Structures are given as C-alpha cells and as structure tokens.
Structure 1
Amino acid sequence: MLKHLTFAAIGATIGALSLGNTAHAATFEVIASNLDNPRGLTIGANGSLYVTEAGRGGTGPCIPSPTNPTASVCYGATGALTRIEDGTVTRVVTGLPSLAAPDGSEATGAHDVAFDATGQPYVLIGLGSDPAVRSALGVPEFGQLLKINTLNGGSDWTAIANVSAFEQAENPDGGGIDSNPYSFVIQNNAAYVADAGANALLKVDLDNGDVDLASVFDSRLVTNPFGGSDIPMQSVPNAVASSSDSTLYVGELTGFPFPVDGARVYRVANGIPEIFAEGFTNIIDLDFDSNGNLYVLEYATNSILSGDLTGALIRLNPDGTRTTLLQEGLLAPTSFTFGDDGDIFIANRGIAAGQGEIIRFNSNDDSQSVPEPSSWLGLLAIASLGGFLKVTRR
C-alpha cells in the first residue's frame, strides 16, 4: 500500500493563476561548449565554476532504458567533473560512470557537485533504475555519493554513501523500487539528497556514510490528458536548496503526464513537505540568491509532453509575483548557480552528448532580447533525463 502524507501549506501558498509573470528581456554568452550532458553546477572553494558531465555512456554492459523498455542504455567511463576558470575549460576528474543510449542521449551519471565548508568536493552519481541492476553492470558507484580525492584530471575518488541502497531496503514511498539521486546540498556535515526515483529526500552523514530519510513526497491525482478518470502522478523531487536559515526546499519535475503549472516547491519542516509555491512546470533546479529571493529553473516550460524543450529561469519576488528572467535560448536547461555582480551560470542543452553548454547571464542586464531557440532538441523530448519519465507504479 502506498504511504500518504498531508501537504499542509504553512504561510502564504503562492498560486500560479493569481499572479503576474513578467517577461524580462536579457542576453547571455556561452562560456563552455561541446559538453556531454552537463548537469550540476557550483562555484568551488577557489571561485572557479564546476559542472558535472553525465557522460555519453559507452560499449560496456547494458540495462533496459528507464524511458523505453524495448531499448537499452550502456555503460562507459565517460563522465567528468569539469572546471571553467579564466576562459579555460578543464576536465579535472575523468572516468566517472555513465549510462546512455547509443547516441549518448538519456545519460545518467555524474548529476551534481558540491563543496563542503573545508573545500572538499563531492559528486553525486545517479542511477534511474532498480538498484539491483548494479550487479549486472559491475559498477557499484551508480547511485552513490563520491568524495573526490584529487582534481588533477585523474579518476581518484572514494564512494562514501550508497544512496540507492536506501530505496532498495526501505522503499519510503511504498511504490516500485526505483532510485535516481539527482541533486544535493551540504549543511554542516550532512548531505541532503533529492532522489527523483525514490520520491524522497535523504540525509547522508558525511563522516560515516549513513543514509536516513528526511522526507517523502507522495503521488497525487491529476487530470488524464487523454480523457477519462484522473490518474496518479508521481512527484519526482529532483531539486533541493537551502535557505539562509538552513531550511530545506525541494522542487519537483513531476511524473507523467507532466502537466503545465503542475510542479510545486515544498518547504521541508520536521520531515513534512509543506507547499511553499506552486504553478511551475517541470522544475529542474532551484536556489536562493544573497537577498533571499528564490529562483526556479524549469526544464520544459510548456511541459515535457509538448515536445518543446524551451526552459525558463523564474525569480519569485518578495511580494509573491514572478519575473521570468530568461526563456528564449534556454533549451533543456539542467541547473544553475550564482556568480558575482548579478551573473547567473546555467547548464544549457543538458541532455545530449557533445552539444551541452554553459551560459553566463547577467540578471541586471535587460537591454537586449536573447536569440530565438532552435528546434534541434525536439526529438529528445520524451527520451530525456534518464529515469525521470515516470508513469504510475503498481
């Protein structure tokens, strides 16, 4: 039986239909290109920008595709942690595990990166499947949090927490066994991991690797786009951020049917997810700026189901209104982070091998319009972000 939680709204719930959504013209520049499925972004201890590349898979062992049971994704040590510094792009960690389709799409691998207070880097490896498949792959790092030992271009890391094993042992949402750790934040000596497959937020002790449940996100009934009775939609929580008072916030991509305005941001208090804001579509990342404003990145602002992978970066203003800072030119964006003087870095075109890019956008510059989006990603609309296109579990 599925476990159910009550989503209690504490404070003002921010509804989509009652608010304005102001367009904000902007321009950006590409500072890195030709990346393989770029995902998580962060500023490192030295002020450099770091991005995880989920890789392009390879010719190693294969497992069924999480989005197409008649196809396969295959292993290759093609993932990387990449540094962007003074205009130079360097893969400072290579050989990270990757699963992908033969053309390098549907990649699952190095999904996120964060540094602790001492400057120690950690990388989160996704999975997008039942953790039992790891034995067939012979690659235990999938679904684990890695401590990176050196940033010199080699493959030196230590697996410190088997995140996906928690889903295998505990299955907190009571559905089918499925784990896809996607993003994390570090508070004190703990990593809080959003497992999109498990519909859970997990807490990892960075000293001993113990994994505990921080919160779980239930399915809810939504309109069936093909008619008939309402159908259950999974939450698919894949974005986590920490506010200035260390409160955790979680954004959901949502599962099938990926309704427009159907994604929520939750504030997690005492283990209970409370609705903080709603009316978003396919949230892929969120974070707070230095002034406490919440920014939300939408992966496909018109819904994954539309076949249009135009994304959007939205600021939730203190008065409850929303400003769309950037939309045109964003194609399947996968993460963002803040730089200095209004700079925002975004991983763009994040679901294809060799075509990913990092863009720099200044939120204070509203003098120009961004380029018109191209249509090259349309055919990847359904086969995107391995492990996220979740239907109902029985």
Structure 2
Amino acid sequence: MLRRLYTATLATAVLCGLMTAAASPSASDTRLDVVAENLVTPRGLTWDAHAGRVLVTEAGRGGPAPCAPGVGGYPACFGASGAITSYTPGSGRTERIATGLPSVINEFSVLGLHDIDASHGRISVVFGLGGQMSTRDGLGTAARGLAQTGVIGRDGRLRPVGDLLAFEERHNPHQADVNANAYGIARVPGGTLVAEAGGNDILMVSDSGAVRMVALLPDQIVDGSPSEAVPTTIVRGPDGAFYISEYGGEPTRIGKARIWRLVPGKTPTVVTSGFTGVIDLAFDRQGRMLVLELAERGFDSPDRTGRLVRVEHDGRRTVLAREGLEHPGGVAVAPNGDIYLTNRTTSLGEANGQLLRLRPGRS
C-alpha cells in the first residue's frame, strides 16, 4: 500500500514553502563521513527498511566489447560490470548483493544501473543506455536489461520487466531524437514510475511490463533558446504527490533547473526553481525537501563540487553540504535522520566511488 498521506495542513505548508525563494545560509552543525569506498560509478541509492540497510547502485565500467554506435554516433561498449552494494549501518558491513549487471561505456560516461527502490516487497531497478534500439541490439543479448526496469531476485539475478527503449522507439514523445536513458525510479502499487532523462518524460511501468507515459516535461526557453528538462528522479513527497528533479539540457544553465510536482492524473507544475543540474531529491523526517546538485557551478565547469540544499518549510534554503561532495549522484534518508549520498559518480569506471553519511544537526 502507498504510505499514508500527511495532513492537508502539512501538505499546504510543504507546497507553499517550496514556492518561496530565499537566501542560502549554511548549516554549521553537520558531519560528513565516508562509510564505503571503492564503488564503481555509484549512482542512485535507497533505504531498505526490510533489511535495515542502504542499497547503492553501481553503474560499472562497461567493457571492451561488443561495441555499437550510441547517441551522437559515439561508440558504446558493453560489459557485465554493474552491481548493487549494501551497507548496514549497525555493523558497518558492506557487500555486493548483485553483480554482473549490464553496463555500457562511451568516451564521455558510463551508463547502466541508475536507480533502485526497495519498497513494496521487492528490489526494483532501472537501467539507462543513452542510445537507440540499434545500439542495444549491437551490444548483444547480454545487454538486454539496458533501458529497462527490472527486479533483482534473492539470488542477485536481474529479471527485466518494462522495456523503456521499445516505448521510446514507438512513441518518441520528445521529438529531438530517440534516446532512452532512464535515471530515476519510484515503486507504487502495481508498478513503478520512471524519470526518463533521455525522453524528457515520466513513464509508468506496470508489473506485467506495460509502459505508458504519465507526463511529458516541456522545454523552457533560456536566453532565447529551448533547453530540455532532462528529469533525473521522481520521489513521493510527504503530501502524497510526486516530485521530479530537473537536470536541464546542455550546456548547463546555472540557476535554471526546476523542481516539478506531479499529482497522478493532472499536469505537473513547477514548484521551485533556481537550482543547477539537480541529480536527485529526497525528503527528511520533518518533510523538508533535500535537493542534490551534481555540480554547483555546472557540469561543464572544472570544479566538480556538488551541493546538498535543504528547502525549509518557509522556503528558505540551507546548504547542508558542499565541501567533500565531488559530482555526487544520489541521496536517501534513513529512519534515524541520517542522510546518505553517493559521491564521485561520473568517473569512467574507476573504483573510486564513495558512500557518504551526513548527520545533520538538530534543526
């Protein structure tokens, strides 16, 4: 069942607060610790309440072959190098619970396992690709899980569920090009919601594998030119609605990324803006939104410093973390209030990724 909705009063407070722009003081009473290292291109993460642990996706390092042209014609090469790592806070134990998952590398990035959800009795995952059907076909049968949602069984094996690439090929809701590169996932009764960064849309995948579009995020005009939305995650908020982060098109536009609110059956609306390259969202125990930026100065900058911002109920913004964040990629909140983040998420397959823990002060 879906988590019970908060009261209407709290829902109104959350929404009104998000719509208010304010200054950005820094939180002084926080501590950022490295709790796991040697991760290979970590991306999204989630709290697994059933097992009391954090689950971290590792997109992997691709492989040497086979290779096929991806988006833009750049060669993409396949390898079964993706994984899922668990971290148990009480014992500090880390272990890979799934390995050999599909991964692809091109000269710019690694794509593969991008997000994970451990709610509603299953471990649900979503894979990106950054390509077309000819790309996946050219990578061989082992690459079938790319550009799909899936379920990870108790044996650590992947069972593909919903073919996002096939939907993109048939419908191509955003007409710029055919590009399947899903990035975020949220489990709901009977299926999963997917933030499709390549298609600029939100998709619903039923447990039977049927795919349909829930919403298409429109471009915005920046300096006279259209800029794609590029949704990177979708999370359920304390008011029962879903919130969608926006990375924005290339080149990076400083301060132009928006946060959308989606009520199923209605058109999504922008509730706050002024961010740069938002890569993930979460809500803390007090119902405040946590906004994670991949790079505060933009991905095009040589400065890889990211930023975690908390949006207070009155709309003020508090910077929870900046120093030590190097192209972070995911954020999740544990029941005790600890915040977990993946770090160093854009390497080309080096085993230098980290899982960080932030313990906010009392506020």
Q: Distance in 1 between matches of 2:132 and 2:16?
A: 38
Letter paired with 1:83: S
- Alpha-carbon displacement from aligned partner over 1:273-302 (angstroms, at most 9, x marks no partner): 201110011000001222211111000111
Q: Distance in 1 between matches of 2:338 and 2:16?
A: 29
Q: Distance in 2 between matches of 1:289 and 1:131?
A: 39
Q: Distance in 2 between matches of 1:303 and 1:14?
A: 22
Pair 134,160 (structure 1): closer, same or farther in 2 beyond 3 Å? same
Where does residue 40 of structure 1 map in the other structure? 44
Letter paired with 1:158: R
Letter paired with 2:259: V
Shift of 1:65: 5.3
Shift of 1:142: 0.7
Where does residue 34 of structure 2 map in the other structure? 30
Pair 160,14 (structure 1): closer, same or farther in 2 beyond 3 Å? closer
- 8 A Cα contact 2:70 2:135, kept in partner: no
Matched, 1:213 2:189: no
Pair 365,302 (structure 1): closer, same or farther in 2 beyond 3 Å? farther
Aligned residues: 340
Letter paired with 2:217: F
Runs (5+) with no aligned partner, structure 1: 1-10, 224-229, 367-394
Letter paired with 1:235: A
Matched, 1:338 2:333: yes
Where does residue 109 of structure 1 map in the other structure? 112
Question: What's the TM-score once normalised by structure 2's chain length?
Answer: 0.89
Letter paired with 1:257: P
Q: Distance in 2 between matches of 1:14 and 1:115?
A: 27
Within 5 Å, which residues of 2 pair with 1:1-394? 12=16, 18-25=21-28, 26-44=30-48, 45-64=50-69, 66=71, 69=73, 71-85=74-88, 86-101=91-106, 106-118=109-121, 120-138=122-140, 139-151=143-155, 154=156, 156-206=157-207, 208-223=208-223, 230-269=224-263, 270-352=265-347, 353-364=350-361
Pair 101,256 (structure 1): closer, same or farther in 2 beyond 3 Å? closer
Q: What percent identity do the matched residue pairs reach?
A: 33
- 8 A Cα contact 2:63 2:78, kept in partner: yes
Letter paired with 2:306: G
Pair 13,19 (structure 1): closer, same or farther in 2 beyond 3 Å? same
Shift of 1:13: 8.4
Would you identify which runs of 4 or more consecutive aligned residues in structure 1 move more than 4 Å?
Answer: 11-16
- Alpha-carbon displacement from aligned partner over 1:142-194 (angstroms, at most 9, x marks no partner): 1011111124xx5x221111122111111112331111011111122221100
Shift of 1:341: 3.0
Letter paired with 2:27: H
Q: Distance in 1 between matches of 2:360 and 2:333?
A: 10
Letter paired with 2:315: G
Instruction: Name the SS of the counterpart of 2:25 in structure 1.
Output: strand
Shift of 1:15: 6.5
Letter paired with 1:313: L
Instruction: Name the SS of the counterpart of 2:134 in structure 1.
Output: helix
Where does residue 386 of structure 1 map in the other structure? none
Q: Distance in 2 between matches of 1:177 and 1:271?
A: 26
Q: Aligned Cα RMSD in Å?
A: 1.9
- 8 A Cα contact 1:164 1:181, kept in partner: no
Instruction: Name the SS of the counterpart of 1:132 in structure 2.
Output: helix
Pair 12,27 (structure 1): closer, same or farther in 2 beyond 3 Å? closer
Instruction: Name the SS of the counterpart of 2:280 in structure 1.
Output: strand
Pair 13,316 (structure 1): closer, same or farther in 2 beyond 3 Å? closer
Runs (5+) with no aligned partner, structure 2: 1-14
Shift of 1:23: 1.4
Q: Distance in 2 between matches of 1:54 and 1:365?
A: 34
Shift of 1:365: 7.1
Letter paired with 2:125: V
Instruction: Name the SS of the counterpart of 1:134 in structure 2.
Output: helix
Q: Which is further off, 210-219 or 299-308? A: 299-308
Shift of 1:344: 0.5
Shift of 1:268: 1.4
Letter paired with 1:163: L
Letter paired with 1:316: V
Letter paired with 2:232: N
- 8 A Cα contact 2:280 2:329, kept in partner: yes
